[in-house]
Structures are given as C-alpha cells and as structure tokens.
Structure 1
Amino acid sequence: MKLIIGLDGHGSGERALTFGQNLAATMGSCELLIVYVIEWSPFSFQTPEENAERHKRREEEISLAMERVITPALEALKKAGMNAQGMVRHGNVADTLNAIASDEKADQIIVGRTSEGAIASRIFGSVTANLVMHADVPVTVVA
C-alpha cells in the first residue's frame, strides 16, 4: 500500500500527516510519500533573462521547502519506524498531486482541509475540491 500525503506548510498539512501516519501504522506494510507542491503557473510570458531568474528562484523554493517542510516530516516519520520518502514539485497543486499518485501507483491521497479565501474559492474552486473531483485514486480530506 502506498499513501501520498500532501503537505501545505500549515496546520492542515500537519493534521494530514498525523492521519496518514496513524493509518499507515494500522496497515502494517505501507509506504508514505510526503509531497509539498509549490503553486506554479506555466502561463507567464517573459524574456530569456526573466526565465533564467525564475528558474533560479524555483530551485531556491524547492530547497527551502525540502528543508522547512519535507525533511522535518520525514525525520519524524522515520523516527516512528515508518517507510517514508519526500518530494517537492512546482505546479497546480491538485493536478500535481494526482499526477504523482498516478506515476507512483499510489493507492490513496491524504490532504488537509484548507481555509482558502471565500472569494478565491468561489471563483476558482478550492484546491481540495478540485483534487477530490478529479483524482484518479481515493482522496481523504482531514478536517
């Protein structure tokens, strides 16, 4: 069994991590893949210089997210005896989590419920709602 746990760097991600850890403990043999997705739009028209700067910034963001979010989560899971790996990606959060679940042949995605701004979620839909509606595997949303 393989579970994807989506972290967001906030309390909702911590709740998802705790839920995923507890679920994995009841299953026995379970692999956890801890994922942090940095929202990234591919639709940006820039000069070559701006693209080079953007790439540099992207690499810095990945490094910071690994250091501040993924590594502490992995250390805690491994200390608890869990089989866990981590990754950071750029992209649309819902699409990226779903793609990772497909690529990794995961059985389930676990995410925390976020409290996005009311106007933004009404206009664009929430990340969690989009993931639940379009994911190729079951999604557990932790309150």
Structure 2
Amino acid sequence: MTTKLVVGLDGLSSGERALDYACSLARLIGDCELVVVYIIEWSPYSFQTPEENAERHKRREEEISTAKKRVVEPAVEGLAKAGLTARGVVRHGNVADTLNAISQELGADQIVVARSRESSLSRRIFGSSTANLVMEATIPVTVVG
C-alpha cells in the first residue's frame, strides 16, 4: 500500500524546508506519494453584494491559478525529476482546517509542514496555523524547524 504524505507549502523558504524533509522521508519509505498543498487563506464570513461576490469568485480563480504556476507546479516538477511520485493541490480556506480536510479526503498518513512565520502579534491573537494544525489534525503532523 502506498504511503501518502501531505506537504504544506507557504511559498517561502519554510515551505521548502518542509518539502526537503518530506522528500527525505519519502525516499526512506519507498512506496510513497507526496501531495504538495498550498492553501490561500480565505474566510467565507464576509457580507458583500452580488457584484462583489462575482468579482471575489473571479479573484479566487486567479489566485488559484497563480499559486499553481508559482508554487505548486514547480515543486511537483522538481519532485518528479527527483524520481518521486507527486501531485499538487491548491485551495482557499483556513490553513489548518483545509490541510486536515485534504488529508482526510486523500487518506493521507501524515502531514509535513514548517514552523509558521506569522508575526508575533498575529500569532498571539489568532494562534499560528501550524499550532492550530497540530492541535486539530486527525493524523500525525511533522513540524520542520
């Protein structure tokens, strides 16, 4: 049975550290698929006019396309060149909730993420995405420093 690792990317060097660790882990495991995931932070809780909602949908589609081209596709291509099995996913949502949901949908065995780079004020008010994921995840989470 193939082991599935979900790797959370953030488009920064911390995401690259998570990806590097997941590559090492995949090589140790052998029969392993890496699912590279980029979450665009988004909240469904806003009150807008129908026109604003239509524009928001268009903007969301553009954000997904940009994230695929700039972050996910290069990562998946690099993994394929390294001889690893990989695919990419981009979604909008709360980072912790969405990473966990994707992991459940795919039957993943583990989530690999890097330590959050959020500002200390934001982290104190809202909690970090990484910490929230560790507390809420239904499968093991590895946090790379």
TM-score past 0.5 threshold: yes
Aligned residue runs from structure 1 range 1-143, under 5 A = 1-143=3-145
- Find runs of 4+ consecutive structure 1 residues off by over 2 angstroms: none
- Match of 2:21, SS state, is helix
Q: Deviations over 1:53-103 (max 9, x none)?
A: 000000000000000000100110000110100010000000000000011
Which structure 2 residue ranges, 5 or more long, are not aligned? none
Count of residue pairs the alignment pairs up: 143
1:137 deviates by: 0.3
What CA RMSD, in Å, does the superposition of the two structures yield over aligned residues? 0.5
Q: Calculate the TM-score normalised by the size of structure 1.
A: 0.99
1:123 deviates by: 1.0
State the alpha-carbon separation in 2 of the partners of residues 55 and 2 from structure 1: 31
Q: Deviations over 1:6-34 (max 9, x none)?
A: 00000100000000011001111001100
> In the alignment, residue 34 of structure 2 is paired with which amino acid?
L
Q: Calculate the TM-score normalised by the size of structure 2.
A: 0.98
1:115 deviates by: 2.0
Identity among equivalent pairs (%)? 66
